Structure 1
Amino acid sequence: MTAKVRPDAVLVQAVIAGALSFAHLHDLAEAAGQSGWKAWAYPVSVDLLLVAAWRRLRTARRDRSAWTWFVIALAASLGANIATAGLLDLHHVPAWLRILVAGWPALAFLGGTLLVHSPTTPALAQPVDEPAAPEVETHRIEAPEPDPAPEITAPDPAPAALPKVPAPAVPPALIDHARKVATDHRTRTGTDIDTATLRARLGIPEDLAGAIVAQLA
C-alpha cells in the first residue's frame, strides 16, 4: 500500500520564498563583481548564518549574540531582495555596496564561528523532586519519672475536751446517812466503801454515789 504524498502549503511557500531570496542574493553578488561560483556561494552563506542564528535562539532566547547575527543575516537577505526590485541599477553598483559584498565572507565566517563555539546559556533548571531521605527509626530514651513526693497529711485535730460536768449537789442529810453506811461497811469489812457498793446500799445514781464517795474520802 503506497502512502499518498500530500503537498504542504507552508512548505511549498517556504521553498518558493527561499528560491527567490537565493536568486536575489546571487544577482546582487554578481552585480557587485562576484562571478562564477562565488556569486552562488553568497546566498548560501547568508541563509546558513540566518538558520544558525535562529537555531541558537531556540535554545537561548536571551542570547544577545544570537540576536545580533540573526538581524545581520536578515538585513543582508532583505536588503538584497529590495535592491534587486528596481531600486538599484545593477549595471552601476555603488562602491559601498561592492565593499559590503566583498567583506561579507569574513563577517559571515566570524558570526558562524561565534554561534557554534559560544557557550549556551543553560535554561532555568526545572525543580527536580529529590528523593526523600530514608527515615531513620530513633529510639527515644525517656528519663525515669521522679517518684511522687509523699503526701504530707495534716495531723487530725485533737478532740475537743469534753466539757466538765459539774458534780451533782448532795444534800447534807444524804451525806450524813452515807457516812453512817460507810462506817458500818468499814467496821464489818475493814475496807472503805466503794462507789458501786454505796450506790447499791443507797439506791442512788452512779454519779451521785461517786460524788458522795469523793466527799467521804
Structure 2
Amino acid sequence: MFRTLRFDAVLIQAVIAGALSFAHLHDLAAAAGQDGWKAWAYPVSVDLLMVAAWRRMRTDASNRDAWLWFTIALVASLGANVATAGLLDMNNVPAWLRILVAGWPALAFLGGTLLAHAPAPSSRPEPEPVEEPDSEPLTDLTVERAPEPAPELPPADPAPEEAPPEPTPSAPAVPVPPALLDHARKIADAHPAQTGAPIDAATLRARLGVPPALADSIALQLA
C-alpha cells in the first residue's frame, strides 16, 4: 500500500528560501577569500546557529542569550543576501567585510557553545491536590458512653425556724367558739407529751387549720 505524497506550500517555500540564503552565504564567503570547502561551511555554520538559538528560545523564551545569537545569525544571513544582490562588488570586497567573514567561525563557535551549555529552565512541580476529609460523621466508630452519675452534694442545712411573733396584748381578741377552744386545749395538752415542748401558735394554727388572727386568740386564751 503506497502512501500519497502531499506537497506542503510552506515547506516548499522554506526549502527554496534556505537554498537561496545558503547560496548567497557561499558566494559572499568565496568573495571574501574563503575558497573550497570553507566557503560551503559558512552557510552551514550560520544556519545551524540560527536553528540552535531558535530551539533554545522555544524551551526558554526569557533567555536573552538565545535572542542575541538568533539576531546575530539572522543579520549575517540577511547581510549576505543583500550584499550579493548587486550592492557589493564581489571582485573587490572591502577589508572590513573580509575581517567579519574571517572572524565568523570563532563567533559562531562561541555562540553554539553558550547555547549548548545554557542551564535548562527549572520546571516547578505542580502542588498535589489535598484530599478534603469527609464531612459525614463516622457513626460506625463512635462508642456510646453511659451517663456519669451526678456528684452527690452535701445535704443543705435546714433553714432555721423563725420564732413565731408574740401576740401583742393590745391587739383586739377574736372571739373563739367554746367547742373550738376545747378542741385546741386538748391538742395543746397532748403536744407536750408527744414532743416534750409546749405547743406554739404556728403549730396550733397548722393543727387546727384556722386563720392567724383566730389562732393567736386561741393561744392567748390557752396561755
TM-score range, shorter chain: 0.5 to 0.7
Report the CA distance between 1:158 and its aligned residue.
5.5
Amino acid at match of 1:49: L
Q: 1:95 to 1:153 in 2, by over 3 A?
A: farther
Report the CA distance between 1:90 and its aligned residue.
0.8
Amino acid at match of 1:81: N
Report the CA distance between 1:58 and its aligned residue.
0.7
Q: Please list every run of at least 4 consecutive aligned residues from structure 1 whose deviation after the TM superposition is greater than 6 angstroms.
A: 159-164, 208-211
Report the CA distance between 1:68 and its aligned residue.
1.0
CA distance in 2: counterparts of 1:206 and 1:64, whole angstroms:
124
Unaligned segments of structure 1, at least 5 residues: 170-203
CA distance in 2: counterparts of 1:111 and 1:209, whole angstroms:
134
Give the number of equivalent residue pairs.
173
CA distance in 2: counterparts of 1:19 and 1:4, whole angstroms:
26
Instruction: Report the more deviating stretch, 144-153 or 85-94.
Output: 144-153
Tell me the alpha carbon deviations over residues 191-211 of structure 1, each in whole angstroms, 9 at most, x when there is no partner: xxxxxxxxxxxxx75648999
Q: 1:34 to 1:210 in 2, by over 3 A?
A: closer
Q: 1:209 to 1:116 in 2, by over 3 A?
A: closer
Tell me the alpha carbon deviations over residues 110-159 of structure 1, each in whole angstroms, 9 at most, x when there is no partner: 11111111212324x25231565999x9x9xxxx9895584969849769
SS of the aligned residue for 2:2 comes to coil
With the length of structure 2 as denominator, give the TM-score of the two structures: 0.63
Report the CA distance between 1:166 and its aligned residue.
5.1
Tell me the alpha carbon deviations over residues 160-213 of structure 1, each in whole angstroms, 9 at most, x when there is no partner: 7798965769xxxxxxxxxxxxxxxxxxxxxxxxxxxxxxxxxx75648999xx
Larger Rg: 1
With the length of structure 1 as denominator, give the TM-score of the two structures: 0.65
CA distance in 2: counterparts of 1:38 and 1:57, whole angstroms:
29
Aligned to 2:48: 48
Report the CA distance between 1:29 and its aligned residue.
0.4
Aligned to 1:106: 106
Aligned to 1:127: 126
Q: 1:23 to 1:155 in 2, by over 3 A?
A: same
Report the CA distance between 1:59 and its aligned residue.
0.7
Amino acid at match of 1:111: G
Unaligned segments of structure 2, at least 5 residues: 186-220
Report the CA distance between 1:87 and its aligned residue.
1.0
